[in-house]
Structures are given as structure tokens and as C-alpha cells.
Amino acid sequence: MKFFQRLGRSLMLPVAVLPVAAILSGIGYWILAATGNETNVVGGFFKIAGGALLDQLPLLFAIGVAIGMAKKPDGTSALAGLVSWLVVTNLLSPASVAIFKGVAEEDVNLAFSNVENVFVGILCGLIGAYSYDHFKDSELPDALAFFSGRRSVAIVAAGASLVLSLVLFFLWPLVFTGLVGFGEFILTLGPLGVGIYGFLNRMLIPLGLHHALNSVFWFDVAGINDLGNFLNATGTYGVTGQYMTGFFPVMMMGLPGAALAMYVTAKSSRRKVAAGVLFSSAIASFFVGVTEPLEFSFMFLAPGLYVVHALFTGISMAVSALLPVRMGFGFSGGFIDLVLGWVNPMAQNPWAIPLMGIFWFAVYFVVFRAIILKFDLKTPGRDEGDMLTDETAVLSGERKHLAAATAFLTALGGKDNITDLENCTTRLRMEVADTTLVDDGALKQAGAAGVVRPGGQSVQVIYGTSVQFVKDAMESIMTGRIDPADDAALEAEAEAEAEADGGAGTAVRTTHLVRLRQPMAGAVVPLSEVPDATFAQEIMGPGVAIEPTDGEVVAPAAGTVGHVFPTGHAVALVLEDGVELLIHVGVDTVTMQGEGFTTLVEPGQKVTAGTPLLRADLSAIRVAGHPAITPILVMNDKDAQIELV
């Protein structure tokens, strides 16, 4: 499952090119329509530029997947993906197949005329990534030393592509026939088939597999090519766009209606937090058609509600297919794409889409509100959480981490229940054998700030910047290198430490205002705008965020570097007044494995305001598909207020 989830994220890299194609094509069509001149040079210029990207989309998938699936990729993995694509597509071209079979080119199976598609591009990208991961450090004999290391990657990719070509030579006609058959079957169902596709599209999002389904209907895998035909205006008026139209009312209006329903049903004490998450996500859904932040806010908290959403999407798709309304997009079904596609020659009655959206806004709001209240679903803002505290004496250093690790293992159902254990900046990421054995309340009592269940067997425990030490202690206990902590011994040790200190305490702050120099250039935004619930809901602590315009991060005040993360994407500081600060560059950037980040300080190093801490390549972050927005959190004061000067 992890492979498919990672593949889904990798597919977003080439898909991110589609907005550019949509903008270029949209501007071109606007100009051509406004001038009434199909030969207008400026309009044609933009139209052709947009088409150039769409025509080479399979190649972009080969390169994008090669980058996204490789561990710590560089240009070598992209080159390997390109080499694989060139080998496979040339060996399986109709002209080549005609030679291999000894027949005339016009007698070659139609499947080979469609071999340059997204599916094959993904396979070539996987070959490129695999070749890079397994052969970038290879050493060859002295006589062949020139081809060692990264120079061998493209060679291996070419060899693997020969095998893939041989396999596809026999299997691709069967696969192609099956895909076409599935597409034709859906086509025979008419609007019902469109509705089934819409339902499956939403249901596959938690697995990240909806992109594979989309490729059958949006691209030229099975001969439908709904998206490409719409943007290029090469389809059939009144037909082209039917596999996209129904998304617009749901994404622009339906899901924001659901967000409003979740907001009004949230507990009064939690509405402010819920509003930050829900309304920012609703805005993204309306304008851009980016629905994942809003869908993931209730997908796992209320899975039954998500099924209702999938059903509504299917109904919207089916109804849109029944009506004389057609619209397409280059990226997603948001307001921007609606405006850009308004004058596309394939657009049919686009004015009806906002009216349909108003209907779906009301349906989502009424139905979601009723279901949430009826079944007491724990949507955002409806679960206060068991914020229990441990009143025993506090330990420090390794013994503290050992105590937390011991308690976590017990709350997670024991070491035998954990099948995979990793950590990122502030959380443990685990796969467990039995999720019913996981005790969320015990985890919070043991020091967890929150527990997230993404789905399947995955469990995430949000802890803090010292999570790496807790994870190391858990691994040591699980492998038998050290013994679990003994509660009585730990309590006695804590009391001894307190007596040794003579009752002396450290200086504490008397105000919750934390005034800092701005650590990065860019616009300061509320923490609620960060597209990650852990930050937006202040689970790790209060703070602010920055939409950076420059990748250099400097110390916002004098203090000591508490921790520098191995992947270089975050740094923790302990300021002179005792404030524990975390600066986290980007969202989910831990998955970049250090690519694009340069660390400039070491743990324990004294810094002053303005001391460079790290440098981040913002373009690399965005190319990898991650938001560059940077949270700045106070970790040890839940009432803190950060003021950047």
C-alpha cells in the first residue's frame, strides 16, 4: 500500500504541469474567441504552447515518476526515465513492430499506435527510479570504471527497458483491449457510467489510485482522452467534457457547503480552530479545485460521511452528463479553470454550472449537518480530545525518552503489534497489525500531543521535536538492546534529581508574548493557513507561518540550537528566555530526504539574531509537490503569541 500511496504523490509532479497548459490554452481560446479570427497570431501562439505540453504529457509522466519515486533523486533519475521512454516507445512503434512481425505497417495491431500513453510513461518512470536507487553507487572493474556510479543508471535503465518492451510486445495488445473494453463499457452506460466513474474517483483518493482511473478517461489510454480533447478543442461538441463537468459544482460549491456544515456543528470552544482548517480548505476547493485538504479533514474521522460525498460526486457527474452542459479543466474543477474554459469551443452552456453549484451547496450543507448531528460524528471541532496530564515527577534526558517509549509501546498494543516504525519532524509514523489495540487516551497521557489515523494500519503519534530520541528508544526496546523503563525506579530517580537540584528552578517567562525577528523573507500568515492539521490546529503549539520568497532561514533571536533534523528541513531552538521554538520549512518536506536543504548550524551551537540556520531551495520544494509555507511554533507554551518584527 505504501508503494501505491507514494506513486500517487509522484504522479502529482507531472500533473502539476496541467495548470500551465490550461492557462496557455485558455488565454489562446479567449483571444481567438474575442477577435473572431481563428488565424490570430497571438491566440494561436498561446494555444499551440498549451498543446505542446499536453501532447508530451506521457513523456512528462515518465520523467516525473522517475524523480518522484526515487530516493534522494537528482537529474540522473530523470535521465533514466527519459532513456527508458525512448527505448520502449521506439521499439514498440508501429514501424518497429511491422519489422519484427514481417507485416505491413498498416496491418499492425492498433494498440501499438497508442503505446505513447500515460500508463507506459509511468512504467518507464518506475524503471528510471529503480535503476537510480539500486545502481547509483555501483562500482565496476577498473576497465569499466568510467561507467561506475551514476553513469551506470541510464545504461541499466536501457537494459531493463528492453525487457519491458519484450513483455509489452505480447501483453500491451491485451491490456489495451481491456482498457478500451472498460472505457467502452462505461460509455455504453451513458450518464450512469459517468456517475460510476465519479464515485470511484473519490473512493480511490485515500489510496492515491484515482490518478490511474483518471488516465483511462482523461488521457488517450483507451481512446477517450476527454481532458486532452477539451483543451485542444479536438473532441465532439456536446460529448467531450462529460468526464469532468460534474466535478465543478461539487468542488466549487458542494464541498464548501460541507465545510460550513462541519463548522456550524463544531463545539463552540473549538470553532475557531475548526474555522481555520475548514474555511481555508474550502477556499482552495472553490478557486483551484484542490479538494484533498478538505476531504482529508473528515475522510478518516467520519468515513461514512466520505462515502456520502463520493455518492454525491457520482450523482453530480451523472446529472451533468444528462444535461446539455459540458466543461473541462487543465488542473481541476475550480473557479479558475471554469473561467479559463468558458470560451473553449468544446464548452457547452457553462453558465449552468454555478446554478448547479448552488444546488449542491445546499444539499451538502443540509445532509452533512443532519448526518453529523444524527450520528454524533467526530468531524473537525467536535472532539475535544482526552488532554490528560501526568502529575508524576518529570524526568530529563535519555530516561525521559525511555519512559515515553515504554509507555507508547504499551499504549500501541505492545512491540509485537508494531510492524513498521519511522519518524518525521514531530511525529512517529507506524504501521500496526491491529489498530483496535491502540489506546489514544493512553498515548496522550504518556505525552503525545495528538494521534492521527490516516487509514488502513497506519497510526501517527504527534510528540514533538525530540521524537527521534523516543523512536530510537522504542526500537532499542523492541530489539531487546535495552529493557523497558520501570515505573518505580523512574519515580525514585526523578525525586533524586529534584533533591539534587536543591529545589532551585530555572528562570521562567512572565508573559506569553514572544517577539522575534522574522526568520525568513515573505508574507506572514496565520498558522491556520498551513495545509496540515497538525500545524493548523496548533496540536504542536501556537505560532505563525510564512509564505517564503527566499530560502534562507536565520535565527529569530539569541539562543541555542536544540536540534537539527537529519533531513535539514527543520531546526529547533531554545531561546535565552527559555522559549522552545521550531521552524519547519514546508509541509511534508521530510519526504524529500534532505534534497534541496543545506544545514548551517549544529546542535548545541550558540546563535544570535540573524545567524543563518539553514538554506532551502524553494523551487525544489514546489517541484516535489510540497507547499513551501513555513510554520514557526512555540513548543512549550500553549498560550504563547508570536509577534514578528
SS3 string of 232-291? CCCCCCCCCCCCCCCHHHHHHHHHHHHHHHHHHCCCHHHHHHHHHHHHHHHHHHHHCCCC
Instruction: Indicate if the pLDDT at residue 503 is higher than 50.
Output: no
Distance CA 287, CA 309 (A): 19
Under the banding of pLDDT at 50, 70 and 90, the label for residue 212 is low
Q: What is the pLDDT of residue 53?
A: 77
CA 545 to chain centre: 19
Share the mean pLDDT of the chain. Answer: 82
- Dihedral sign for Cα atoms in the order 444, 445, 448, 454: negative
Instruction: Indicate if the pLDDT at residue 544 is higher than 60.
Output: yes
Three-state DSSP class for 104?
coil
The answer to whether 235 and 219 have CB atoms below 8 angstroms apart is no
Distance CA 257, CA 244 (A): 20
Q: Is pLDDT larger for residue 271 or for residue 607?
A: 607
Q: What is the pLDDT of residue 228?
A: 87
Three-state DSSP class for 427?
strand
Which set of grid coordinates corresponds to residue 446?
Answer: 504518556
Distance CA 154, CA 74 (A): 13
Under the banding of pLDDT at 50, 70 and 90, the label for residue 495 is low
Q: What is the pLDDT of residue 463?
A: 76
- Count CB-CB contacts under 10 A for residue 391: 6
CA angle 182, 184, 186 (to 5 degrees): 70
Give the max Cα distance, the chain: 94
Under the banding of pLDDT at 50, 70 and 90, the label for residue 185 is confident
Three-state DSSP class for 516?
strand
Average pLDDT of the residues in 465-481: 82
Three-state DSSP class for 142?
helix
Average pLDDT of the residues in 153-171: 94
The one-letter amino acid code at 464 reads G
Q: What is the pLDDT of residue 593?
A: 82
Distance CA 413, CA 292 (A): 31
Three-state DSSP class for 514?
strand
Least confident segment among 53-57, 301-305, 307-311, 457-461: 53-57
Least confident segment among 72-81, 205-214, 405-414, 635-644: 205-214
For the question of residue 424 being annotated catalytic, the response is yes
Q: What is the pLDDT of residue 179?
A: 64
Strand partners, 559: 575, 607
Q: What is the pLDDT of residue 241?
A: 94
Distance CA 116, CA 96 (A): 14
Beta-carbon contacts of residue 471 (< 8 Å; ≥ 6 apart): 405, 421, 422, 423, 428
Q: What is the pLDDT of residue 12?
A: 58
Enumerate the H helices of 16-40 as residue ranges.
18-35
Average pLDDT of the residues in 473-489: 77
- Count CB-CB contacts under 10 A for residue 500: 8
Distance CA 210, CA 207 (A): 8
Instruction: Indicate if the pLDDT at residue 20 is higher than 50.
Output: yes
Q: What is the pLDDT of residue 244?
A: 96
Catalytic residue among 124, 309, 424, 626: 424
Q: What is the pLDDT of residue 575?
A: 87
Q: What is the pLDDT of residue 113?
A: 80
Q: What is the pLDDT of residue 492?
A: 54
Q: Is pLDDT larger for residue 72 or for residue 227?
A: 227
Instruction: Indicate if the pLDDT at residue 393 is higher than 50.
Output: no
Cell numbers 544570535: residue? 608
For the question of residue 584 being annotated catalytic, the response is yes
Under the banding of pLDDT at 50, 70 and 90, the label for residue 180 is low
Cell numbers 533519475: residue? 77
Distance CA 241, CA 228 (A): 10
Q: What is the pLDDT of residue 578?
A: 80
Q: What is the pLDDT of residue 88?
A: 95
CA 388 to chain centre: 31
Distance CA 36, CA 234 (A): 18
Q: Is pLDDT larger for residue 452 or for residue 246?
A: 246
Least confident segment among 338-352, 366-380, 461-475, 492-506: 492-506
The one-letter amino acid code at 191 reads P
Q: What is the pLDDT of residue 615?
A: 92
Instruction: Indicate if the pLDDT at residue 449 is higher than 60.
Output: yes
Average pLDDT of the residues in 136-149: 76
Q: What is the pLDDT of residue 488?
A: 53
Instruction: Indicate if the pLDDT at residue 383 is higher than 70.
Output: no
Catalytic residue among 401, 569, 584, 626: 584
Which set of grid coordinates corresponds to residue 115?
Answer: 503505446
Average pLDDT of the residues in 215-221: 75
Q: What is the DSSP string of 431-474?
A: EES-GGG--HHHHHHTT-SEEEEEETTEEEEE--TTHHHHHHHH
Q: What is the DSSP string of 535-601?
A: HHTTSS--EEEEEESS-EEE-SSSEEEEEE-TTSSEEEEEETTS-EEEEE-SSSGGGGTTTTEEE--
Determine the number of helices (DSSP H) and then strands (DSSP E) in the chain. Answer: 24, 16
Instruction: Indicate if the pLDDT at residue 528 is higher than 70.
Output: yes
Q: What is the pLDDT of residue 242?
A: 95
Instruction: Indicate if the pLDDT at residue 504 is higher than 50.
Output: no
Q: What is the pLDDT of residue 210?
A: 67
Instruction: Indicate if the pLDDT at residue 546 is higher than 90.
Output: yes
Q: What is the pLDDT of residue 531?
A: 87
H/E run at residue 526: strand 522-526
Q: What is the pLDDT of residue 8?
A: 56
Which set of grid coordinates corresponds to residue 498?
Answer: 529534584
Q: What is the pLDDT of residue 391?
A: 37
- Give the predicted TM-score (pTM) of the model: 0.46
